[in-house]
A and B are shown apart, each in its own frame.
Chain A
């Protein structure tokens, strides 16, 4: 069975602080896909990144960076110099490489960035 764990329920930081959101996943598959989504108060899930299991390169996009480590089954997300607009719930998700497209989500981490 596939499982995604986001142990941090809520994180509060002050603007300009760096923050890391943790994601640990479980799967027996050798090929799989990992995702991060942002859910602002409006409710829509906004796609942030996709990572294939065979590509362990870390990625940076502006203030966002992702650290993928297969050895620890983790796919952590760091926001550098956080801003108030980063306040949202962030979800990590997993999709198998077999069968249909089915995202398995973690329970999410609520990030509160105060001015």
Chain B
């Protein structure tokens, strides 16, 4: 079975631009969460989507938005990119319950120049 897939794997953008990151969850998983991992730190929660609805949002500005599609895949959008948005963006797939493990993709490495 395929694991969590994210695209693209690497991306270079200029300050002020917009970026869209994509994630396909494990088959049967209805929850997708997004995390930002800055170099040398642990991942920070951005969003959780379950059954196409936003279930939770972390402490990130409104420049960050996401959505989940009927096939449970998800997009993370970031507008007006800042240098500080450079990070590894990880997508996690799960059954959605708090007591279940999340399975992560390989991430998208975003560099803002």
Contacts and interface: CB of A to CB of B under 8 A. Distances in A.
Interface of A: 4, 33, 35, 37, 42-47, 50, 52, 91, 93, 95-108
B102 A101 contact: yes
Contacts of B99: 33, 50, 52, 95, 97
| 9 shortest interchain CB distances as A-B pairs | A105-B42, A100-B56, A45-B104, A100-B55, A44-B106, A43-B107, A102-B45, A47-B101, A100-B48
Contacts of A35: 101
Interface of B: 31, 33, 35, 40-45, 48, 50, 55-56, 58, 88, 90, 92, 94, 96-107, 109
B102 A47 contact: yes
A19 B29 CA distance: 35
A55 B98 CA distance: 16
A44 B43 contact: no
B78 to A, nearest CB: 18
B106 A43 contact: yes
24 contacts: A43-B107, A43-B109, A44-B104, A44-B106, A45-B92, A47-B101, A50-B101, A91-B42, A93-B42, A95-B98, A95-B99, A99-B98, A100-B50, A101-B31, A101-B56, A101-B94, A101-B97, A102-B45, A102-B56, A102-B58, A103-B33, A103-B92, A105-B44, A107-B41
